[in-house]
Structure 1
């Protein structure tokens, strides 16, 4: 049976074949010809990201006093909360399991205010909105090196705040 005999609705769920690859290649060639990616796009993006980072306020991981680090337990426990401080705000995140290899991040910004909060893990970038009390949540995150960026709603009054990268 050739594809002309298969109802169109059934083709949508069918696996891609050589004909599909040819059509997709032709579409890619068309876009490359009509609207090519600017040759300096990567350089402009890197410059923009660097410029954004220069305008950001850097938060630092708050350290506990030595007495609080002492442990009498047989096994070491995993850190479940982290606090980052900067001149303009404090960000606390609580890390909890959200599946076998996933975590959930519940966070709070103080002083409480609406903001956009971004999480960066390698190439992954997600954002959520913090409510008027400064509360935000990220669900279904992978373990790994993670950085947060808080962008207050009053962007003109407060620069974004970036945390150092931490392993979650």
Structure 2
């Protein structure tokens, strides 16, 4: 049975147009919705991007250091990662072509463990009361640093959020 009643159109586009008008009257889209969504999408991952932007790398030699030695032993890198609540600074020294020493400082200092991930391997160091930590002998290559609360330590906002650096090369 075919109906010619205008309340029941056969064309979907007419039906959808009526539905759109009805919802625009009853529940209109907020004026700032589009801008709010665009801001939310643009700022997604901003903490990670900021950490990447604040990452620093310095030259081949320590300033003011005298003495011999091969080039690998004099190669030093400095990295800084920050997310607005915590800053991690690393000084990476080459022990030889394949091994590195990592000295680090956490500000503000807190009772937390620092984990250095290299592939499937992990090294853990505790942060001192002054915010210092170290990894004496780790392989060169791509690594990532994570902050984890110490056992029995208070879980603060940084630990709860799981601060982690992007991958970087030692």
Could you state the TM-score of these two structures normalised by the residue count of structure 1?
Answer: 0.53
Which stretches in structure 1 are left out of the alignment for 5+ residues? 1-56, 70-76
Is residue 149 from structure 1 mapped to residue 146 from structure 2 by the alignment? yes
Give how far 1:78 is off: 5.9
Of structures 1 and 2, the one scoring higher in RCO (CA 8 A, sep 6+) is: 1
Alignment of 1:15-164 (within 5 A): 58=48, 60-61=51-52, 62-63=54-55, 80-152=77-149, 153-158=153-158, 159=160, 160-164=162-166
Question: Per-residue CA shift, 1:40-86, capped at 9, x if unaligned?
Answer: xxxxxxxxxxxxxxxxx75713156xxx99xxxxxxx9661000011
Q: CA RMSD in A?
A: 2.6
Is residue 167 from structure 1 mapped to residue 161 from structure 2 by the alignment? no
| Structure with max Cα Rg | 2
Distance across 1 between alignment mates of 2:100 and 2:111: 24
**Could you tell me whether the CA contact under 8 Å between 1:147 and 1:163 is conserved in 2?**
yes
Aligned length: 102
**Could you tell me whether the CA contact under 8 Å between 2:76 and 2:94 is conserved in 1?**
no
Distance across 1 between alignment mates of 2:84 and 2:116: 20
4+ runs deviating over 4 angstroms: none
Could you state the TM-score of these two structures normalised by the residue count of structure 2?
Answer: 0.53
